[in-house]
Every structure is written in structure tokens, then in C-alpha cells.
Amino acid sequence: MAYLKPQRPEKVTVPVLRETKRRGERLVCLTAYDYPTARIADEAGTDIILVGDSIGNVVLGYENTLPVSVDEMVAATRAARRGVQRALLVADMPYGSYHAGADDAVRAALRLMKEGGAEAVKLEGGKVRAAIVGRLVAEEIPVMGHVGLTPQSIHKLGGNRRQGKTAEAARAVIEDALALEAAGAFSIVLELIPREIAQMVTDAVKVPTIGIGAGAGCDAQIMVFHDLLGLSFGKPLRHVRQYADLRAAATDAITRYAEDVRAGTFPNETESFALPPDVAEEIEKGVRGQGSEVS
Ligand code: KIV
């Protein structure tokens, strides 16, 4: 683990997270979907790496997260696993993998852990998922909850819209979070809800809250890797802070590479290698000899 930052060398595990909240330490979470993104996130000191089903939008080119399959999540989680040493690795349960019953949910979660190497799973929904969360936890599967905007409900919600805007809706978000905590979730993602409600939830539960578009009062923040680095397409969302423009950097690099190839300036002599002189001489003699035979 030579690359780990000396000030935060300890492995992040599920049991330490409650303690982290008690101490008032903020946690850093980021999504990742393969070996390089996971390794970069881990090396930079991210505490929790989520192999999110946002892989559907940002990597696989789907319109939303609904088509993502368990096989796709297992493959992505396995790749991410190879890049992570310190962070807690959490895998998202894709749409359809926990909706048909608790046994299905257990089977899908076990695949993410046994085949993918995840240390925990995340699923979307509050009160309605409490029984499934309880069952997973009983089977030794740590669960991260997710309330507020739940992108797998895109058709029910009519889009990826802000949630918890009315008193009734805000109360429902708080009740959802409490139900997940009572069911045994070890942390809860709060997505796109008013910061006041996120603060109330954070104060009400003992497990860390992980905000995305939910204000600074949460115990942790999460961002989508590609949004943070400017690798996403489309208009950036209000809650996204883009720390780099890697898409522009990549486009520029590839354009210059194409120019060099077309101009014949790539590769140059230092980017290729020559035959050893004695071999060159031998080959040349052979070619000359063949030439005289032909003539
Ligand atoms: O899939 C995902 O990336 C997520 C985070 C945005 C929380 O669920």
C-alpha cells in the first residue's frame, strides 16, 4: 500500500463508519466503475468507493440506470476491486435485482460480494425496502440505503427531479431514512433533497448520511467520478462541482495525436526501434542474394 496517504492509512470498514460520525469527521465518497477509476479514487484518499448503477449513464451509454444488469455490476465491481486497497467498496444493486423478493435480493447481493468483491451493497428506497434491508443484513450483507431522489424510480417520479419539497414529502424522506436505520442500514445516501431536510435526517440518525445535492450538513458527500472530472456529456447538474475538464484535455490530446499520425511525425525514431546492425546486414545480404537468384 505504498501509495496510501500517510495521514489516512487505515482500511475503511463498515463498523468504523458509525464511530467516524460520532467523532464528527466528514467522509469522502466517489463512484468508480473499473480498475483505473477505482485506483485513482483510492490513491487520492477516497473513503467509500461506490460502483454505482450510474455506470448505465456515464459508462455504458444507456439513457438511464434501468437497463443495468447484475452481470454488468458484477463485472464492474470485480474490476474496481482490483484497484481498491483502502476504501470501503460498495456495489449498487441494479433495478430489478431486489424488487421481486428478498430471496432474489440476497442472491444478487451475494454475487456482488462473492464474485465482485464488494464489501457492502446499496439499494434504493425507504420504508418499502426496510424488510429487504433487514433480510440482507441478517445474511451478513452490509447495506447502504438511498432515499430522496431514487433514479431507479425515474418513470414513477416523471424524471430525475428534486424530492422532499412539500412538508408531506419532506416528512416522508425523514421517515424513510429512519426506517432504513431501524432495518440495519449502515449508511444512507440522501439525493437531491433540500439541505434543511438532509440536516434533520443527519441529526436524527446515528449512521452516516451521504449527500448528493443535499447540502453540506450531511456526514459525507458523494459525486459521480465522471461529473467531478468533466467526463460527462450534457449540461452539468446544479449540485455538481467540476474539478477538472478531462473531456477537453482528452479531445485535445487525441486531436494532436491524429495530426501527428497524418503528418507522419508519429512515431519518431525514439518511439520505434531499429534492427541491430549485424542483423540488418545479414538480412540485406539475404535479400540481395534472393534478388540475384531471381534475375
Ligand atoms: O449510482 C450512483 O452513482 C449513485 C450515487 C449518485 C449515489 O447512486
CA of 30 to the centre of ligand 1 (A): 9
Flag the least confident range among 28-32, 131-135, 154-158.
154-158
Q: Does 10 participate in catalysis according to the annotation? A: no
Q: Phi and psi (nearest 5°) for 35?
A: -60, -50
User: How many C-beta atoms surround the C-beta of residue 154 within 10 A?
Assistant: 17
Q: Give the span between the Cα atoms of 134 and 291, in whole angstroms.
A: 81
- Please name the residue whose Cα sits nearest to atom 8 of ligand 1: 52
- C-alpha 59 – ligand 1 centre gap (Å): 13
| Choice between 98 and 6, residue whose per-residue pLDDT is larger | 98
Task: State the pLDDT at residue 291.
Answer: 64
Element holding 56 (H helix, E strand):
helix 55-58
Lowest-confidence segment of 22-26, 103-107, 239-243, 280-284 by average pLDDT: 280-284
| pLDDT (0 to 100) of residue 56 | 98
- CA of residue 54 to ligand 1 center, whole Å: 6
Average pLDDT value over all residues in the chain: 94
Report which ligand 1 atom has the smallest distance to the Cα of 124.
8
Q: How confident is the model at residue 255 (pLDDT cuts 50, 70, 90)?
A: very high
**How large is the average pLDDT for residues 275-282?**
93
Angle of CA points 32, 34, 36, to nearest 5°: 90
Q: How confident is the model at residue 8 (pLDDT cuts 50, 70, 90)?
A: low
Is 80 exceeded by the pLDDT of residue 43? yes
Count Cα neighbours of 257 within 13 Å in the Cβ-side half-sphere: 6
Question: pLDDT at residue 78 above 90?
Answer: yes
**Separation of CA 67 and ligand 1 centre (Å):** 15
- pLDDT at residue 236 in the model: 83
Pocket-forming residues, ligand 1, beta carbon under 6 Å: 31, 50, 52-54, 92, 189, 212, 222, 224
- Closest by alpha carbon to 246, among 221, 229, 267, 226? 229
For residue 19, how far is its CA from the centre of ligand 1 (angstroms)?
24
Average pLDDT over residues 61-72: 97
Model confidence at 18, pLDDT cuts 50, 70, 90, reads confident
**C-alpha span between 295 and 293 (Å, rounded):** 6
Look at residue 45 in the predicted model and tell me its pLDDT.
96
Least confident of 38-52, 151-165, 173-187, 243-257: 151-165
pLDDT exceeding 70 applies to what percent of the chain? Answer: 95
- Read off the amino acid at residue 22: R
Atom of ligand 1 nearest to the CA of 65: 1
pLDDT over 70 (residue 294): no
* Contact by Cβ (8 Å): 24, 65: no
| Ligand 1 binding pocket mutation candidate from 95, 149, 189, 192 (most atoms within 8 A of CB) | 189
User: Above 80 in pLDDT, residue 26?
Assistant: yes
Q: Whose CA is nearest to atom 5 of ligand 1?
A: 52
Query: For helices 130-138 and 167-183, what crossing angle results, to 10°?
Result: 20
CA distance 255 to 123: 41
Residue 292 binned pLDDT confidence (cut-offs 50, 70, 90): low
3 state SS of 68: coil
DSSP per residue, 219-271: SEEEE-HHHHTT---SPPPTT------HHHHHHHHHHHHHHHHHHT-SS-GGG
Best residue among 27, 30, 31, 231 to mutate for probing ligand 1's pocket (most ligand atoms within 8 Å of CB) is: 31
Determine which residue's CA is closest to atom 2 belonging to ligand 1.
52
Q: What is the pLDDT of residue 295?
A: 47
188-212: per-residue pLDDT in tens? 999 999 999 999 999 999 999 999 9
Q: Whole-angstrom Cα distance, residue 291 to residue 154?
A: 72
